[in-house]
Structure 1
Amino acid sequence: MPVAVPELGSYDFVQETKEDLPWADLITLDFSLYGTPEGNQQLAKTLVKAVREDGFFYVKNFNISQERVNRQFAIGKQLYEVPLEEKLKYVPQGLEFNGDFTHDHPQVLQQFLPEVEEFARSLHTEVLDPLHEILAIALGLPVDYLKNIHQYDVKSEDHLRYMKYTKFSPEENDKLGGLWGRGHTDLGSFTLLFRQPVAALQIKNHATGEWSWVKPVDGTLTVNTCDALSFLSGGYMKSTVHRVAVPPKDQQHVDRLGLLYFSRPNNDVELRTIKESPVLREQGFTENEFEKSGNPVPTMETWTFAKQKWQRTKNVAWGDKKFENAQILPGWNERAYA
Structure 2
Amino acid sequence: MPVPVPPLGTFDHLPQTKEDLPWADLPTVDLSLYSNPANRLALANALITAVREKGFFYVKNFGVSAEAVDRQFALCKAFYDLPLATKMQYTNPDFAKGAFNGYMPMGRVVVDPNTGLKDKVEVYNIPSTSVLPDDVASLIMLPRKTTEFSSDFAHNHPEPVADSVAEIEGFVRELQTKIIEPLLTLVAIALELPEDYLVKLHTYDVKSEDHLRYMKCGKYSPDENARLAAWVPGHTDLGSFTLLFRQPVAGLQIADPVTNEWKWVKPQNGLLTVNTCDALQLLTGGYVRSTIHRVHPPPIDQQHVDRLGVLYFSRPHNHVGLATIRESPVLRREGYVKNPFEASGNPVPTMEEWTFAKQKWQRTGYLGPNSASKEVLPGFPEKVYT
Q: Which bracket does the TM-score occupy, shorter chain normalised?
A: over 0.9
- Aligned counterparts of 2:184 and 2:128: Cα–Cα separation in 1: 20
- Aligned counterparts of 1:115 and 1:108: Cα–Cα separation in 2: 11
Name the counterpart of 2:5.
Answer: 5
The 5 A counterparts of 1:1-338 are 2-91=2-91, 92=103, 94-98=125-129, 99=131, 100=149, 101-177=153-229, 179-313=230-364, 318=368, 320=369, 322-338=370-386
CA positional deviation for 1:329? 0.4
CA positional deviation for 1:335? 2.4
> Compared with structure 1, are the counterparts of its residues 95 and 317 closer, same or farther at alpha carbon in structure 2 (3 Å cutoff)?
closer
- Size of the aligned set, in residue pairs, is 334
Unaligned runs of 5+ in 2: 92-102, 104-123, 132-148
CA positional deviation for 1:114? 0.6
- Aligned counterparts of 2:2 and 2:311: Cα–Cα separation in 1: 21
- Aligned counterparts of 1:85 and 1:286: Cα–Cα separation in 2: 50
Amino acid at match of 1:73: F
Give yes or no for contact 2:233–2:384 (8 Å, CA) kept in 1.
no
Q: CA RMSD in A?
A: 1.3
For residues 107-162 of structure 1, give each alpha carbon's deviation from its aligned partner in whole angstroms, at most 9, with x where no partner exists.
22100111011001110000001001111100000000000000110000000011
- Aligned counterparts of 1:302 and 1:97: Cα–Cα separation in 2: 19
Give yes or no for contact 1:29–1:59 (8 Å, CA) kept in 2.
yes
> Compared with structure 1, are the counterparts of its residues 30 and 156 closer, same or farther at alpha carbon in structure 2 (3 Å cutoff)?
same
CA positional deviation for 1:81? 0.3
- Aligned counterparts of 1:150 and 1:313: Cα–Cα separation in 2: 28
Amino acid at match of 2:127: E
For residues 224-283 of structure 1, give each alpha carbon's deviation from its aligned partner in whole angstroms, at most 9, with x where no partner exists.
010000000000001100010000000000110000000100000000000000010000
Give yes or no for contact 2:321–2:348 (8 Å, CA) kept in 1.
yes
TM-score (structure 2 length as normaliser)? 0.84
Give yes or no for contact 2:321–2:349 (8 Å, CA) kept in 1.
yes
- Aligned counterparts of 2:77 and 2:35: Cα–Cα separation in 1: 35
- Aligned counterparts of 1:163 and 1:223: Cα–Cα separation in 2: 16
CA positional deviation for 1:187? 0.8
CA positional deviation for 1:72? 0.7
Secondary structure of the 2:248 match is coil
Amino acid at match of 2:17: T
TM-score (structure 1 length as normaliser)? 0.96
Secondary structure of the 2:308 match is strand
For residues 71-115 of structure 1, give each alpha carbon's deviation from its aligned partner in whole angstroms, at most 9, with x where no partner exists.
110111100000111111111252224243122211221001110
Amino acid at match of 1:263: S
Give yes or no for contact 2:371–2:383 (8 Å, CA) kept in 1.
no
Secondary structure of the 1:243 match is strand
- Aligned counterparts of 2:8 and 2:81: Cα–Cα separation in 1: 13
Structure 1 segments of 4+ aligned residues over 4 angstroms from their partners: none
- Aligned counterparts of 2:303 and 2:164: Cα–Cα separation in 1: 30
- Aligned counterparts of 2:293 and 2:359: Cα–Cα separation in 1: 17
- Aligned counterparts of 1:6 and 1:87: Cα–Cα separation in 2: 20
- Aligned counterparts of 2:16 and 2:384: Cα–Cα separation in 1: 31
CA positional deviation for 1:58? 0.4
> Compared with structure 1, are the counterparts of its residues 337 and 317 closer, same or farther at alpha carbon in structure 2 (3 Å cutoff)?
closer
> Compared with structure 1, are the counterparts of its residues 289 and 317 closer, same or farther at alpha carbon in structure 2 (3 Å cutoff)?
closer
- Aligned counterparts of 2:87 and 2:35: Cα–Cα separation in 1: 44
- Aligned counterparts of 1:109 and 1:75: Cα–Cα separation in 2: 7
CA positional deviation for 1:216? 0.8
Give yes or no for contact 2:371–2:384 (8 Å, CA) kept in 1.
no
- Aligned counterparts of 2:8 and 2:88: Cα–Cα separation in 1: 24
CA positional deviation for 1:172? 2.1
CA positional deviation for 1:324? 2.6
CA positional deviation for 1:317? 5.6
- Aligned counterparts of 1:331 and 1:196: Cα–Cα separation in 2: 36
- Aligned counterparts of 1:125 and 1:30: Cα–Cα separation in 2: 16
